[in-house]
Chains A and B, each alone.
Chain A
Amino acid sequence: MITTRDLTKRYGRLAAVDGVGLEVREGDRYGLLGPNGSGKTTLVRMLLGLVFATRGEIEVLGRPVPRRVKEVLPEIGALVEGPGAYPHLSGRTNLRLFDAAGPGGARRDRDRRIGEALERVGLAGIDRRPVRAYSLGMRQRLGLAAALLRKPRLLVLDEPTNGLDPRGIREVRDLLTELNAAGATVFLSSHLLGEIEAFCTRVGVMDRGRLVLQDELAALRGPTGRVVLGTPDPDQVVGLLDGRVEQRDGGRLTVRHDDPAALNAELIAAGVRVTEFAPERRSLEQVVLEATTTSSDRVAAKEDQ
């Protein structure tokens, strides 16, 4: 769905995006992670033909961007760096204007499509109040509704849950899951690990303009070769697994063991009572922290650099 090769954007000497080779496949739930200022938004803007690359190639839905971006944009729903709406008009009027502005939105079913999109994002009951009076969360939902107007094959969402409360975040996640199940590819960027971890199947990590990591979430969160187990008899376990217990926290033990099944059998054979047993996986946070260097909005003193 999206492929980029050596994609680079320079602003003067600063490379905002540097040699990125993105690969998003059909049906993916792709999450682009990265600290603020790591180039996520610039990358998203280049995919949509808003910002022109200094070097490299972009292909979206099989067509080169920005050369043939006009052909692909009607099939993309996007949210770029916060929603945008005319503040003195109502949400519905805003959607009507946006729909009428581009090609492909038939006038006959416009009101029906707008109604459906508003319903999907939980704004079915909005009245004639101007967008000026909306809360940040409502604006975000309106932006999502605008992205869904044309039943897109590809959703490109930059920080889609910004400004939403936990319930709202959950609703948006459910909505995206539903759309993905119906065949839409979802590409979202976020600096929130939890959001990506809860929704995405594939993850890319950006750091200072470079794509430092790109893989299946399951592969990234590979087993660490340790097992976490809970037991009311910790001393017995320590005695049994001599030297292999790496951490002990009351009844919770972390044990180095390559084969969780064998370990489990061993414990049960020894008559150890086990209340909890799980192979330890790396958290996405660990993965990201290992892959990235420093927070880019941190301005360190000269000596530190």
Chain B
Amino acid sequence: MIRVELAKLFRRPRTYVIAGLLCALPFTVAVFLATTRIPPPPGQGGAFLSAVLSNGALYPAAAMALVMPVFLPVSVAVLAGDAVAGEAATGTLRYLLIRPVGRTRLLVAKLVALIAFVLFAIAAVLITSLVTGLTMFGGEPSAGVALPADVTSLSGVTISPAGLVMRLLATVAYIVVSMLGVAAIALFLSTVTDSALGAAMGALAVLVTSQVLVTLDAATAIRPYLPTRYWLAWIDFFRDPVLWRDIERGIGIQLVFLVVLLGAAWANFMTRDVSD
């Protein structure tokens, strides 16, 4: 069943359209930066953006910081919202279930396909942004990368190319876990409603609310428990030494969301009447 879900994912043109759009955003930003050479003032704009002007090899990290807060979660929410509700809408859910595909297996396969999508999208963004960064800003990745001052507390720390790759891989892993949290919200809603759009909207409503509350001082009390609070904590991988506190908390929060919401999705789907 997992193989079938992967085949469905990668045979669908929309997978490539979404990945293409995700790649287009960092590319557009790079074009503006490279032509104007105006870096965002320190402390504003996307992370790493001023640093990439001097070293294009850091651009994949900047690209992650660009797609992470909005674009990537939106696409994950759309796909995860479509996972069960979309099958119900095309009338294929009932035919899968009477094939028979167990309901648990179906949910697991959907989740695996979502992870595959996130990995595919991130890989596409990393590769295109690395090429973009090196060609537009130049840079010699083999010489090592100086960590930017606006990110690290110490300026001028240089990490080796191997170190950069390790940190990028850790970043990818962290982002996948964060996106699984998003997927769990949308997947749960997808088992509740027969409208793929409704499920995606519901998940996005949760995320937007969370983003607003994160910046609201009055909501300080609940801030550590918001799903989006630690989304950008992976930037700490680019500090030297790596600052683990937020990363650990972020993973903890996402795992709690994942377990609770997937459990709810499973319980709901197992007992639900499929009468689309």
Contacts and interface: CB of A to CB of B under 8 A. Distances in A.
Contacts of A49: 97-98, 100
B161 to A, nearest CB: 41
Interface in B1-53: 1, 3-4, 7-8, 11-13
List 10 tightest A-B contacts by C-beta distance, closest first. A84-B91, A102-B99, A73-B100, A51-B273, A50-B274, A84-B92, A101-B4, A84-B95, A48-B98, A101-B99
Contacts of B8: 86, 97
Nearest to B88: A84
A51 B97 CA distance: 11
Interface residues of A, number: 31
Identify which of B1, B8, B275 gathers the most chain A CB atoms within 10 Å of its CB: B275
A102 B100 contact: yes
Given A42-B275, A50-B98, A51-B273, 16 more contacts: A45-B94, A45-B275, A49-B98, A49-B100, A73-B100, A78-B98, A82-B91, A84-B91, A84-B95, A86-B8, A97-B7, A98-B95, A100-B3, A100-B7, A101-B1, A103-B100
A85 B97 contact: no
Contacts, number: 76
A85 B90 contact: yes
Nearest to B12: A88
Interface string A82-114: 111111110001000110111100000000000
A215 B99 CA distance: 31
A111 to B, nearest CB: 15
A152 B99 CA distance: 11
Given A42-B275, A50-B273, A97-B4, A89 B11 contact: yes
Contacts of A89: 11
A86 B101 CA distance: 17
Interface of A: 42, 45, 48-52, 69-70, 73-74, 76, 78, 80-89, 93, 97-98, 100-103, 146
B100 to A, nearest CB: 4
A70 B98 CA distance: 8
A93 B11 contact: yes
B141 to A, nearest CB: 40
A98 to B, nearest CB: 6
A146 B273 CA distance: 22
Given A50-B275, A84-B94, A86-B92, A69 B4 contact: no
A51 to B, nearest CB: 4
Interface string B195-207: 0000000000000
B264 to A, nearest CB: 18
Contacts of B100: 49, 69-70, 73-74, 102-103
Contacts of A70: 100, 102
Contacts of B97: 48-50
Contact of B99 (A80, A81, A98): A98
Nearest to B92: A84
Contacts of B98: 48-50, 73, 76, 78, 80
Contact of A73 (B13, B92, B99, B271): B99
Contacts of A85: 90-92
